[in-house]
Amino acid sequence: MKHNYSIIVIEDDPLINQTVKSILSSKYERVETFIDAKEGLDNLHVINPDLMLLDIFLGHHNGLEILEQLRKEGWTMPVIIMTAFSDIKMAVRAMKLGAADFIVKPLDLEQLEISVERALSNSTMRRQVEIANEKLKVEQPKEIIGDSEGMKRALNMAHIIASAEDTTVLITGESGTGKELMAHFIHNNSPRSKGPFVTINCGAIPKELAENELFGHERGAFTGATDKIKQGRFEQAQHGTIMLDEIAELSMELQVKLLRVLQERKFYRLGGQKEVTIDVRVIAATNKDLKQLVEEGKFREDLYYRLDVANILLPPLRHRGNDILTIAAAFVNEFNNKFGRNIKDFSPEAVDMLLQHSWKGNIRELRNVIERVVLLHESGDVITKDELSFLKGSTTLQVPGNVPIEIPDGGHYLQISRKGAPIAEVIKDLIIQTLKITGGNQVQATKLLATTRAKLRYRIEQLGIITERTVE
């Protein structure tokens, strides 16, 4: 299988050109050779090479001068210098100008292959380090945690999608459900995992700067654009993955340009005259209903269908059941290490509060809650309900009037008064009435309550419910 890299060779000897092309074409997707230096340089924007092989003596042109000019213009790809003269001073100068390697002719083809492979590998690693330093992520669990049905479906879909390296992905779900973590999961389990992972929040940058952030610019594109070439996020993600978070916030004008990138994998930098070709996977994410926005004329229909090739829906935390406790435990371990605590568990009442809270901020809110509790925890190894008392609506269910809750397929109703009721008593009463309907049959009760036998038994023991007759 060929590596998806583009290599340009500028060498005025036709035989060497043909030999190098023959050797490298067996391993790399695109190898372009030029005898004329000017022609090769004119095609840089079209090829957008990952690596250049450059002869020093090229008729009226000098390879070292070309290298120096390339660096001034902002080209960052590794350049391997080739020459027929073994001159130490020349090699030192080439390295100072930013050459990745210096090879003497006649070429040792094995050395050439090793040099190219090493230069490409180092370039990829350097780009990943630059991106990592550019944006320090908020600490979070390093893996996706959860065993609920909704997360199982999402992860199964992610595994399938990851294997298809070019498929565009749309991740949907409420804010704080872990969309960026899922995007990382897809990237890390894909053939692109060795390439960079670049994120951009479309809602966090001013609209007038968004195009520059995405596609970069060239000198003179606007006041202050002094760099010959300034790469945008798409170029930074070359051979990797770009995540466009909050895609619904993208302006209609940029939606048109993004559509073209998805269709043709090409774009123009701001102020640029030549197209840039890219090889990236696009993962878009949003907490909004794009279909609804399409109907309202706020999002392009053609772009929506281009993005919605593979869709992953992340469930809100309140629908993930015991995943809440698993994730909370992971956060407790994290903040134990950070704050020097030794918390090991939650009290039963605290568990109830975690399970019954609405978690409108989802995992992000849960993380903030656990950080606060662990930081302020004073003694003991158990988090109590009092430490979670700041969670609004955790201990009582406030309702505007008497609201009947129907037990499925049964004729009994639980009445909640206007004053509210402790949530534990509501759950206890509901379980007791359900067991009365089923004659104590816990299997039937789990079906009526849409839960599992393990969870029902846990509640029965926790709430101290005495069952007169249990039918398995």
HEC profile of the chain: CCEEEEEEEECCCHHHHHHHHHHHHCCEEEEEEECCHHHHHHCHHHHCCCEEEEECEECCEEHHHHHHHHHHHCCCCCEEEEECCCCHHHHHHHHHCCCCEEEECCCCHHHHHHHHHHHHHHHHHHHHHHHHHHCCCCCCCCCCCCCCHHHHHHHHHHHHHHHCCCCCEEEECCCCCCHHHHHHHHHHCCCCCCCCEEEEECCCCCHHHHHHHHHCEECCCCCCCCCCEECCHHHHCCCCEEEEECHHHCCHHHHHHHHHHHHHCEEECECCCCEEECCCEEEEEECCCHHHHHHCCCCCHHHHHHHCCEEEECCCHHHCCCHHHHHHHHHHHHHHHHHCCCCCEECHHHHHHHHHCCCCCHHHHHHHHHHHHHHHCCCCCEECHHHHCCCCCCCEECCCCCEEEECCCCCCEEEECCCCEEHHHHHHHHHHHHHHHCCCEHHHHHHHHCCCHHHHHHHHHHCCCCCCCCEC
Instruction: With both helix axes pointing from N to C terminus, report the angle between 252-264 and 207-215 in degrees, rounded to the nearest 10.
Output: 10
The CA-CA-CA angle for residues 197, 198, 200, to 5°, reads 150
Q: What is the pLDDT of residue 420?
A: 58
pLDDT of residue 131: 62
pLDDT at 409: 39
Domains and CATH numbers, the chain: 3-122 (3.40.50.2300), 152-313 (3.40.50.300), 318-394 (1.10.8.60), 403-462 (1.10.10.60)
Res 260: pLDDT = 92
CA quadruple 85, 90, 96, 100: dihedral, nearest 10: 0
Residue with token string 């070709």: 277
pLDDT tens per residue, the chain (472 residues)? Answer: 788 889 999 998 899 999 999 999 999 989 999 999 999 998 888 888 999 999 988 888 888 999 988 888 888 889 999 888 777 778 888 888 888 888 888 888 888 999 999 998 888 777 766 665 554 444 444 578 888 999 999 999 999 999 988 899 999 999 999 999 999 999 999 999 888 999 999 988 887 788 888 998 887 666 666 666 788 899 989 999 999 999 999 999 999 999 999 999 999 888 888 888 889 999 999 999 999 999 999 999 999 999 999 999 999 999 998 899 999 999 999 999 999 999 999 998 999 899 989 999 999 999 999 999 999 998 889 999 999 988 864 333 333 333 333 333 344 444 555 555 667 777 888 888 888 888 788 888 888 887 887 778 878 877 778 765 444 4
Q: Are 456 and 465 in contact (CB under 8 A)?
A: no
Q: Torsion-angle region of residue 200: left (phi > 0), alpha (psi -120 to 50) or beta? A: beta
Instruction: Report whether 181 contacts 144 (CB < 8 A).
Output: yes
Cα gap 112→103, rounded to integer Å = 8
Distances from the Cα of 383 to the Cα of 329, 379, 391, 393, 458, angstroms: 11, 9, 14, 18, 19
Q: Using an 8 Å Cβ cutoff, are 285 and 246 in contact?
A: yes
Distances in Å between the alpha carbon of 431 and those of 44, 139, 325, 394, 465?
71, 39, 21, 19, 9
In whole angstroms, give the CA distance from residue 225 to residue 271. Answer: 10
Beta strands 61-62 and 57-58: pairing type? antiparallel
